[in-house]
Structure 1
Amino acid sequence: MADIIITHGIVVTMDPQRRVIEDGAVAIEKDRIVAVGTTDEVLAQHRAPTEIDASRKIVMPGLIDGHAHAGHGFIKTMGGGDGQQWYEACEKAYTVASTPEFWHAEARLAALERLRFGVTTGVSLLGGGDTILRTDEPVYGDAHCEGVREVGTRSVVAVGPTRPPHPRIYARFVDGTAVERPVTFEEQFETCRTLIETWHGSQNGRLNIALITPTLRPEHREQLGAVNLEEARRQARMTADLAREAGLVFTQDGHNKGSVAYAKELGILGPNALLSHATDLTDEEIRIVADTGTHIAHNPSAIASILGRCPVPELLEAGANVCLGSDATAPDRSGDMFRHMQQCMHYHRRHFRDPTWLPPGRVLEMCTIDAAKALGMEKDIGSLEAGKKADVVLLDLRRPHLYPLNMPVFRLIYFANGNDVDTVIVDGRIALRDRKATFVDEDAVLDDAQRETEAMLDRTGFRFMLETPKMFWNHVRATDQIEH
C-alpha cells in the first residue's frame, strides 16, 4: 500500500522519454516513487491514506539549484548596488561578525525560500565565494545544516579552505565579545573533514557536503607570487583529492577565460567537478569541459553573466553537461529557478539574435535531470520515475497568468514563477501544503532572520549600507561617471 497518491495532474516526468501524462498520477511509498502513470493505471494498482487531487496542476520533479551562497540571505541588497561595499559586508560578516545563530537563522530563511519556490535541492557555499567561507570551526557548518534539516529540503553544502596566504583572521564570540584568532589552512581542512563525517549522507541522504577550493584565475596567479601560488596549487590538489576519496562533489566558484585550462593542468577536473559561471571560455576550454566530464553551473542572472558570457549552447553541443544556478541571493536575485530559466533563454537568444536557441524544455532539463547529474544524484532525483526519491512539486495552473489551460509545459516554463508552487514533497514527506511550510513556523523563521540580521548590522557597523544610494532615482546610470 502506498502512503501518498497524487491524482489527476498533468505529470511532467522528465524521464528518458520526457513523458507528459495528462490526467496523470504518482504513487509514493515511504521516501520513494512506486508508480507513475495515468490516474486510472495507478489507482488500479495502489491505494493510499493520503490522496492529493492535482486537478489543474502541474506535477513535476523538484527543481535543483546548482549554485548559491549561504549567508547571502542576510546581506542581499546591502550597499545598494555598490559592489565594493557588498564584498566588504560579506567578508566582515562571514569571518568576524557572524555567530552560529546567524548561520542557523539564515539557513532556515534560505531553505524556506527554496521550498516555497519548489526548489527541493540546492548547492550552498558556506559564505560569499571562494575566499570568505566560514570554515574556521565546524560549529557554523553544523548550524547551517541543522537549519536546513528543520525546513526539510535537500542541500549540498560546499565547504573548503580559503585562498592563501594563511593564516586568516576569524572571530568567535565569547559572552558577546569578538575574540579574533588566526586560522591556518590545516585547521580549515580539518573543519571540512569533521563536517563530512557529521553531515554527509545524513537525514536519509537529504544533507550532503561538497568541497570547494579557490579558483585560480590569471589575476590571482599574478598577485600571489611564486611561493603562495605553489601553496595554492598544493591546497587545490589536496582538496580535490579528498573530494574524490570521499565521493563528494568538488566545486569552484567564478571560473572565466583561462582558469578552466589551468584547472585541467592542476588535475582537479573530472566527473565530480562542478564549475560555476565559466564565462568567456575559449574553444579549447569548452573541449576540456566536455572531455573531462566536468559539469558547469550556469548562473544567467548573476553579475558575472553581465561581465562575461557562459557559452552554454556551445558547451551543450560539445557534449558537456550544464545545470542552472541562481547564485542567490546576492545582491539582486532570488532563489526562484523559474526566473532563471526564463533569463537563461533570453540571455542566449539575445547573444545569437535568434529566438530558436534553448527551447523551453531544454532549460527545464538544466534544473532537473541535468542538475541531478551534475550533483551525482541522477539515480535518485531529477525526474519522476518508479524507484527514485519522492521529490515532487505541484504547481497551480489556475492562475490568471497561466490560463487558459492549454500547452501547459510551455506555460510552466515561460510564464510560471515560484509563487505558483502549491505543494512540495521532499523524500516522501509533505514539506509544503497549500503554500504553507509543514515542519517550521514561517513567522518564527522570519522573526529569527530579522533578529540575527539586526545583530549582524550592530556588530559590523554597516547600517549605513542600508541607505538608499543617491543615484537610485532620476539617473540612467548608477555611477559617478559622466552620463551621456
Structure 2
Amino acid sequence: MTDILIQHGVVVTMDGTRRVIEDGAVAIKGDRIVAVGTSAELAISHGDAETIIDAGGKIVMPGLIDAHTHAGHGLIKTMGGGRSDEWYEVCHTVYTVASTPEWWRAEAQLAALERLRFGVTTAVALLGGGDTIMRCDEPVYGEAHLDGVAEVGTRSVLAVGATRPPFPRTYARFENGEVKEHATSFEDMFATCQSLVESQHGRLGKRLNIALITPTLRAEHEAGLSASDLADARAQGRRMSDFAREAGLVFTQDGHTKGSVAYARELGVLGPHALLSHSTALTDEEIAIVADTGTHIVHNPSAVASILARCPVTELLEAGANVCLGSDATAPDRSGDMFRHMQQCMHYHRTFHHDPSWLPPGRVLEMCTVDAARALGMADEIGSLEVGKKADVVLLDWRRPHLYPANMPLFRLVYFANGNDVDTVIVDGRIALRGRKALFVNEDAVLDTAQAQTEWMLDYCGFRPLLETPASFWGQVRAMDQVEARSLSGLKKN
C-alpha cells in the first residue's frame, strides 16, 4: 500500500523535461517516490494510500537545497551590530573555548527548524565560522550537531576539517563544571574527521552525511605564514582532499576569491568532488579551470563576500560549470530563506549586466534543486520529484495575496514566494512539517533551549555589551564600523 498520496496540487517536478502538472499528484512509499502524474491517474493506482494530502491551492515542489551555511552562527548572528571585528572575535572565542556539545545541539536544532519552516530539506553546514575556527578538536561537537538536525527531521551534510596552521590550537572542554584547555594538533583534527566519517556518514538512511573542508589558500597566506607553516598547509590540504576522494565525500572550501582557484589547481584539490564557496573576482583563466576540472561552485549572493567582489555566475554557467546557491546563513544579516537568495541572485547579476534578461527564474530554481543535488553527489537521490528518488517534497501555499491571482505558478514561485509560504514538508518520506507546524520537535522547546544556551554563553564570555544597538544604527548614511568599534580588550575572555 502507498504510504502518502499528494493530489490536486501544481506539481513542479524539476525532472529532465522540467515538467509541470497543473492538477498533479505524487505517491510515496517508504522513503521513495513511486509515482508522479495527474491526480486522476494516481487516484486509480494509489487511491488507497494510508495518508492522502489535498494539495489544492498549493505548489508541490522538491525540497530546496542550501549548499553553504555555518553551524554555530544561529546563536550569535547579530552580535556586534554589524562590526566585523567584534563579530569574528565572538566566533573565535565561542567556537574554540566557550561552547559545549549541548550548545552545538541547540544551535543545530534552531537552524534546522528555520530551514524546515522555509522548505529547505538539505543543507551543507560548516562546523564553525570559517576555515580558521572549526570546532573539530573532538568528535562530540559534530555528533551533537547531527543529533540536533536528526531530531528536527531534515538533512545535513556536515563539513568538518582542520584549521590553517600554525598548530597547536587551544580549545577548551567543560568537564564536571570545570574548564580544561587542551592543545589541538592537525593530527587531532584529522582523527576527529576520520571518526565522524566512520560513525556518522550515511546515518539514518543517508539523511546525515559528512563532508571534508580544508582552508582556502591565497597569495596573502604565502606572505603571512612561515615557510614551514605554508608547506604544512599545502600538505594538509592535499591530504584532506585525498581523504575525501578515497571516501567518496564532498570536499569543500570557504572564501575563494581571485587567485585562489588557480592556487587550488596547483595543489591538486579540484575536481568533481570539490565544492568551492563564494568564488568571487575569478579570472577568465580560473573560470576555465572550474569548468575543465568539473569543480562545483556555490554562489552566496547575499553574503558580504558578494558585496566586496562579484562571483561571475553567468560567465561560469556559460563556460559549462555547475553553480548552485547557498545562503551563507545564519549570519550576520542573512537568513536561511532560499527564496530570498534566489531573488537576490537574479537582481545581483541583472544589475551587473544592466540587463533584466539574465538568469531567468527557472535557472535560479535549478541552482537550489537539481544543480545543488549534483554538486553534493546526490543527483540520483534528491533535487527533483521523480520515481525512485528520495521523497523530499515541499507544499507551498499560493492562495495568499502576494501570490495571487493563481496563474503562471513558476514565476510566482520564484519572484514572489518566501519561506513563510511553506505549509508542508516531507523529508525521506516522513511528514516533518504540516500546517506550518513541526511534527518531530516542540518548537517552543527548541526556542527556549536556544535562548538558554545563548544566555549562558553571553554571561560566560562577558559578551552582553555586544548586544547594544550601535550609535550608527540611526540617522547615518554610512556606519563607520572600524572607527566606532568598541574594543573587546575589556571583555572577559575565558
Give the corresponding residue for 2:12. Answer: 12
Aligned residues of 2:83 and 2:481 also touching (Cα < 8 A) = no
What does the per-residue CA deviation read over 1:417-475, in whole Å, with 9 as the maximum and x for residues that have no partner? 00000000000000000000010000000000000011111121111110000100011
What does the per-residue CA deviation read over 1:329-352, in whole Å, with 9 as the maximum and x for residues that have no partner? 010000000000000000000000
How much has 1:480 moved relative to structure 2?
6.3
Give me the whole-angstrom Cα distance separating, in 1, the residues matched to 2:434 and 2:466. Answer: 37
How much has 1:481 moved relative to structure 2?
8.5
Give the corresponding residue for 1:159. Answer: 160
Give me the whole-angstrom Cα distance separating, in 2, the residues matched to 1:152 and 1:18. Answer: 27
Give the corresponding residue for 1:66. Answer: 67
Pairing 1:11-410 to 2, within 5 Å after superposition:
11-47=11-47, 48-410=49-411
Give me the whole-angstrom Cα distance separating, in 2, the residues matched to 1:98 and 1:458. Answer: 12
SS in 2 for 1:67: strand
Change (3 A) 1:99 1:481: closer
SS in 2 for 1:156: strand
Give me the whole-angstrom Cα distance separating, in 1, the residues matched to 2:225 and 2:463. Answer: 29
Change (3 A) 1:227 1:108: same
Give the corresponding residue for 1:465. Answer: 466
Count of aligned positions: 483
Q: Which amino acid aligns with 1:204?
A: G
Q: Which amino acid aligns with 2:20?
A: V
Give me the whole-angstrom Cα distance separating, in 1, the residues matched to 2:52 and 2:169. Answer: 54
Give me the whole-angstrom Cα distance separating, in 2, the residues matched to 1:146 and 1:221. Answer: 39
Give me the whole-angstrom Cα distance separating, in 1, the residues matched to 2:401 and 2:299. Answer: 31
What does the per-residue CA deviation read over 1:362-417, in whole Å, with 9 as the maximum and x for residues that have no partner? 00000000000000000000000000000000000011100111111100000000
How much has 1:176 moved relative to structure 2?
2.6
Give me the whole-angstrom Cα distance separating, in 2, the residues matched to 1:29 and 1:206. Answer: 17
Give me the whole-angstrom Cα distance separating, in 1, the residues matched to 2:359 and 2:121. Answer: 24
Give me the whole-angstrom Cα distance separating, in 2, the residues matched to 1:372 and 1:459. Answer: 40
Give me the whole-angstrom Cα distance separating, in 2, the residues matched to 1:288 and 1:461. Answer: 46
SS in 1 for 2:2: coil
Give me the whole-angstrom Cα distance separating, in 2, the residues matched to 1:357 and 1:177. Answer: 57
| Stretch moving more, 221-230 or 127-136 | 221-230
Give the corresponding residue for 1:425. Answer: 426
Aligned residues of 2:62 and 2:392 also touching (Cα < 8 A) = yes
What does the per-residue CA deviation read over 1:69-88, in whole Å, with 9 as the maximum and x for residues that have no partner? 00000010100010000000
Aligned residues of 2:256 and 2:279 also touching (Cα < 8 A) = yes
How much has 1:177 moved relative to structure 2?
2.8
Runs of 4+ residues over 4 Å off in structure 1: none
Aligned residues of 2:82 and 2:481 also touching (Cα < 8 A) = no
SS in 1 for 2:69: coil
What does the per-residue CA deviation read over 1:228-265, in whole Å, with 9 as the maximum and x for residues that have no partner? 10000000001000001110000000000000000000
Give me the whole-angstrom Cα distance separating, in 1, the residues matched to 2:84 and 2:482. Answer: 16
Give me the whole-angstrom Cα distance separating, in 2, the residues matched to 1:208 and 1:275. Answer: 18
Give me the whole-angstrom Cα distance separating, in 1, the residues matched to 2:441 and 2:289. Answer: 44
SS in 2 for 1:471: helix
Give me the whole-angstrom Cα distance separating, in 2, the residues matched to 1:273 and 1:78. Answer: 32
| Stretch moving more, 189-198 or 215-224 | 215-224
Q: Which amino acid aligns with 1:421?
A: V
Give me the whole-angstrom Cα distance separating, in 1, the residues matched to 2:346 and 2:179. Answer: 46
Give me the whole-angstrom Cα distance separating, in 1, the residues matched to 2:429 and 2:103. Answer: 30
| Stretch moving more, 472-481 or 108-117 | 472-481
Give me the whole-angstrom Cα distance separating, in 1, the residues matched to 2:423 and 2:218. Answer: 43
Give me the whole-angstrom Cα distance separating, in 2, the residues matched to 1:247 and 1:221. Answer: 30
TM norm structure 2: 0.97
Q: Which amino acid aligns with 1:43?
A: A
Aligned residues of 2:60 and 2:393 also touching (Cα < 8 A) = yes
- 5+ long unaligned stretches in structure 1: none
Aligned residues of 2:96 and 2:172 also touching (Cα < 8 A) = yes
Give me the whole-angstrom Cα distance separating, in 2, the residues matched to 1:348 and 1:99. Answer: 41
Aligned residues of 2:83 and 2:482 also touching (Cα < 8 A) = no
Give me the whole-angstrom Cα distance separating, in 2, the residues matched to 1:225 and 1:310. Answer: 30
Give me the whole-angstrom Cα distance separating, in 1, the residues matched to 2:52 and 2:74. Answer: 35
Q: Which amino acid aligns with 2:57?
A: R
Give me the whole-angstrom Cα distance separating, in 2, the residues matched to 1:358 and 1:78. Answer: 34
Change (3 A) 1:423 1:72: same
Give me the whole-angstrom Cα distance separating, in 2, the residues matched to 1:215 and 1:167. Answer: 19
Give me the whole-angstrom Cα distance separating, in 1, the residues matched to 2:481 and 2:428. Answer: 51
Percent identical across equivalent pairs? 74
